[in-house]
Amino acid sequence: MTQVIVRAAEIIERIAEQPMSVAELAAEFDVHRSSMFRQLKSLEHIGYVRRRADARFVVGAKLISLARLSFDEIDLRQAGYQHVRRLHESVGHTIQLVALIGDSLIYVDKVERASGVGMYSRIGREAPAYCSGVGKVILAALDPYRRDTILNSTPWKRFTPNTFTTREQLDEALTLAAERGWAVDDRELDMMINCLAVPIYSSSGVVGAVSVTAVSSIEDIDALMKYLPLLQDTARAIGRELG
């Protein structure tokens, strides 16, 4: 095993214990800061580490998803596999299944409309919590501390004119989502796309969400609402599978 691979593994193990900056890691491993920065950028590029707003590095969503998919989160995909496909057959639109993995929201399954347009989501990718329907229903179901932990690193990037860019806007939407039990993405991530999402619960609490996504010119948010009962039935069925 090469020294580069060993060093990469040691860096990941160290930042898994606590977030660390380039300078702190360079000092700990007794290497020049530029060398440590290059290695961290390589790990960041493949999704194994992530740089927070405070310039400290933490374990990335890709590594978390790889590490956890063989445990609880794979149960969510297995439990939802047939239910998601039955829902797709009923509604014809794209269905997405997202798991709450640590402090990340990861797409773990997706059944696309055959003639659909390209979408942001793909299996293994992290869902943006603040501007996706799945993200909002999961955040709305969490306790305030856990919610804050997830949102601490939110970039508030404006994808479209409809994207929320402040915590105040999001908190209003989360209060409404908690009351209703569902949330929407009204062209917040892509002006051509909207979605309706509901949370999935197991005996341990919220574990993910399932959504129906459509091209907004074909079905707007009001039109998507007719699928809400089917979506809720699917979420409950998956929850029962999980126990």
Position 21 confidence tier, pLDDT thresholds 50, 70, 90: very high
As a whole number of angstroms, the distance between CA 112 and CA 183 comes to 20
Q: How large a percentage of the chain has pLDDT more than 70?
A: 91
Q: Read off the pLDDT of residues 41-75 as tens digits, 9 standing for 90 and up.
A: 989 888 888 898 888 999 887 777 666 555 444 68
Highest averaged pLDDT of the listed ranges 69-73, 120-124, 152-156, 202-206:
202-206
For the stretch 77-109, pLDDT in tens is 889 999 999 999 999 999 999 998 878 888 888
Torsion of CA 116, 126, 40, 156, to 10 degrees: 100
pLDDT at 114 over 70: no
Q: What confidence score (pLDDT) does residue 69 get?
A: 53
CATH topology of domain 3-59: Arc Repressor Mutant, subunit A (1.10.10)
Q: Under a CB-based contact definition with an 8 Å cutoff, are residues 74 and 106 in contact? A: no
* CATH superfamily name and code, 67-242: GAF domain (3.30.450.40)
Q: Scanning the structure block, which residue is given the tokens 């590029």? A: 45
The first and second tokens of residue 106, run together, are 């990861």
Select from 73, 67, 77, 12 the least CA-distant residue to 39. 12
Average pLDDT, the chain: 88
Residue 121's pLDDT band (cuts 50, 70, 90): low
* pLDDT of 206 strictly over 90: yes
Higher pLDDT, 92 or 125: 92
Q: According to the model, what pLDDT value does residue 59 have?
A: 86
What are the domain boundaries of the chain?
3-59, 67-242
